[in-house]
């Protein structure tokens, strides 16, 4: 196991993974345990076991579009293929906007945290 759920009240600096929807819904944050490198295998497991089930629960029956950034874990072929096969709408890396904060609203959110 590479992760643990962060208690809602815990604060501090850590590596974590989570998902944010355009309507403001947020998945729980999962802390990455010390010494674990988030590679394409860890990230794909996170998508399969945390993000996808969360989307199914929160948006049952609603078509969802997923967009990621250009991180190597996001652009890995196995991750791109799995997302294309499992999400209703998936923006492949060829469709992602350029590295511009106005085209990548999550970048603005993360900078403000």
Q: How confident is the model at residue 102 (pLDDT cuts 50, 70, 90)?
A: low
| End-to-end Cα spacing for the chain | 27
Under DSSP, the state recorded for 59 is T
Per-residue pLDDT band for 99 (boundaries 50, 70, 90) equals low
> In terms of Cα–Cα distance, which of 90, 94, 107, 14 is closest to 47?
90
* Helix extents (H) in 1-113: 40-46, 52-58, 72-75, 77-86, 105-111
Structure tokens at 58: 């929160």
* Across 4-20, average pLDDT: 59
48 contacts 82 by C-beta, under 8 angstroms: yes
Average pLDDT over residues 80-96: 83
Q: What is the DSSP letter of 93?
A: G
What pLDDT sits at residue 40? 92
Beta strands at 65-66 and 89-90: parallel, antiparallel or unpaired: parallel
Higher pLDDT among residues 16 and 79, named by residue: 79
Ordered domains of the chain (ranges, CATH)? 3-111 (3.30.420.10)
pTM of the model: 0.70
- Reference 106, options 62, 71, 60; nearest CA is 71
């Amino acid at each position: 196991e590479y992760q643990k759920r962060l208690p809602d009240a815990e604060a501090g600096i850590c590596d974590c993974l989570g998902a944010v929807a355009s309507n403001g819904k947020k998945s729980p944050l999962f802390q990455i345990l010390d010494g674990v490198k988030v590679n394409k295998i860890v990230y794909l497991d996170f998508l399969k076991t945390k993000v996808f089930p969360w989307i199914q629960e929160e948006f049952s029956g609603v078509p969802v579009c997923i967009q990621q950034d250009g991180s190597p874990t996001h652009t890995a072929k196995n991750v791109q293929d799995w997302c294309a096969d499992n999400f209703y709408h998936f923006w492949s890396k060829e469709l992602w906007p350029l590295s511009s904060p106005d085209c990548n609203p999550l970048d603005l959110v993360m900078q403000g945290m």
